[in-house]
Amino acid sequence: MTCPNCHREASGNYCPWCGAPLTPVPPYGAPANGWYPPVQKKNHTAIIVLSVILVLIVLFFCTAGFVLAQSGLFSSYTQRGDSSIAMEESPTLTTGDRYDADEVPASYVEDDGPLAGCTLYPEGCYLVGADLPAGDYLLTSTSESDSSLIYAYYSSTGDFSQEENTYYFTNRGYVTLSFGVYVKFQGCTATPASDVPAYEAEDDTYPAGMYLVGKDIPSGDYYLEGSELTAMIYQSPEVTSESDYRGSTFETRAYVTLKEGEYFELTGGTAVPADNAKAYESADGTYPSGMYLVGKDLPADTYTLTPTGMDAAAVVLSDATYDATSIVQRVQLGEADSLTLEEGQYVLLFSMKLTPSDSQETSAVLPAKDAPLTDRPQQ
Q: Is 118 helix (H, G, I), strand (E, B) or coil?
A: coil
Range 320-348 average pLDDT: 90
Q: What is the pLDDT of residue 59?
A: 58
Q: Is the pLDDT assigned to residue 70 strictly greater than 70?
A: no
d(CA 169, CA 149) in angstroms, rounded, equals: 6
Q: List Cβ neighbours of 360 (8 Å cut-off, separation of 6 or more).
A: none
Q: What is the pLDDT of residue 309?
A: 86
Range 127-148 average pLDDT: 92
This prediction has a pTM of 0.69
CA dihedral (71, 73, 76, 80) positive or negative: positive
Q: pLDDT tens across 38-61, in order?
A: 333 334 455 555 666 666 665 555
Contact predicate 125/183, CB 8 Å: yes
Q: What is the pLDDT of residue 26?
A: 31
In the chain, domain spans: 101-195, 198-277, 287-369
Read out DSSP for 126-177? EEBTTTB-SEEEEEEE-S-SSS-EEEEEEESSSBTTS--EEEEEESEEEEEE
Q: Is the pLDDT assigned to residue 162 strictly greater than 90?
A: no
Q: What is the pLDDT of residue 69?
A: 36
Q: Please choose, from the candidates 108, 127, 130, the residue with its C-alpha nearest in 3D space to the C-alpha of residue 117.
A: 108
Q: Is the pLDDT assigned to residue 334 strictly greater than 80?
A: no
Q: pLDDT tens across 240-281, in order?
A: 656 678 888 888 999 999 999 999 999 999 999 999 999 999
Q: What is the pLDDT of residue 57?
A: 63
Q: What is the pLDDT of residue 358?
A: 76
Q: What is the pLDDT of residue 243?
A: 65
Q: pLDDT tens across 277-293, in order?
A: 999 999 888 999 999 99
Q: Which helix (H) or strand (E) segment is 313 a member of? A: strand 313-317
Q: List Cβ neighbours of 344 (8 Å cut-off, separation of 6 or more).
A: 293, 294, 295, 318
Q: Is the pLDDT assigned to residue 223 strictly greater than 90?
A: yes
Q: What is the pLDDT of residue 379?
A: 35
DSSP H helical segments within the chain, as ranges? 44-71, 77-80
- Ranked by mean pLDDT, the top range of 74-78, 212-216, 347-351, 372-376 is 212-216
Q: pLDDT tens across 294-322, in order?
A: 999 999 999 999 998 888 999 999 999 98
pLDDT band with cut points at 50, 70 and 90 for residue 324: confident
